[in-house]
Amino acid sequence: MAILDVIKKHKGADDDKKDNKKKRVAASESEKETKTAKVSEATKSAKKKKDGVVKERGHILTETALKHPHITEKAAILAERGVYTFLVHKDANKIQVAKAVKAIYDVEPVRVNIIKLPAKRVVSRGRRGVKAAKKKALVYLKKGDKIEFV
């Protein structure tokens, strides 16, 4: 009789495992449904954040077009003549850069030139690598206007 009891217990354990598996599958399906609902709500919203850049319907907002001033020896010489250099977001255009400079520094740019610097291959300590591509903007101001980088 003891042998029959052991066999019955094993059959019961298999049934319990099947029930647990069904419960887990049902729970995972309900989790998937809630996740897809959250994702669809997020994509419907107008503003999205990606890499720290706020976009509204595919366009960069003016506050995020400028990354930071590009301060080098050459940029300092140009700044004496009223030309300031900024690193800008890769998708920013001249109009967005001009609006961002006006909003942040309260000066009206006369003109804006944009320069794309390509990625460069480098070798350091015997290992190959790549310097990231950049996009610079040269902002020309009227005589008398200045931007202070402190």
Question: Considering the domain boundaries, does residue 74 fall inside one?
Answer: yes
Helix (H, G, I), strand (E, B) or coil at 90: coil
Domain span at residue 78 reads: 50-141
CA distance 99 to 86: 13
Strand-pairing partners, residue 134, are 117
CA distance 66 to 53: 10
Q: pLDDT of 106-115, one tens digit each?
A: 999 999 999 9
Asked if 66 and 104 touch (Cβ cutoff 8 Å), the reply is yes
Whether this model's pTM surpasses 0.75? no
Q: pLDDT of 86-145, one tens digit each?
A: 999 999 999 999 999 999 999 999 999 999 999 999 999 999 999 999 999 999 999 999
Q: Structural domain tally of the chain?
A: 2
Q: Are residues 31 and 70 in the same domain?
A: no
Q: pLDDT of 39-93, one tens digit each?
A: 444 444 434 444 555 555 556 666 789 999 999 999 999 999 999 999 999 999 9
Mean pLDDT of 22-35: 61
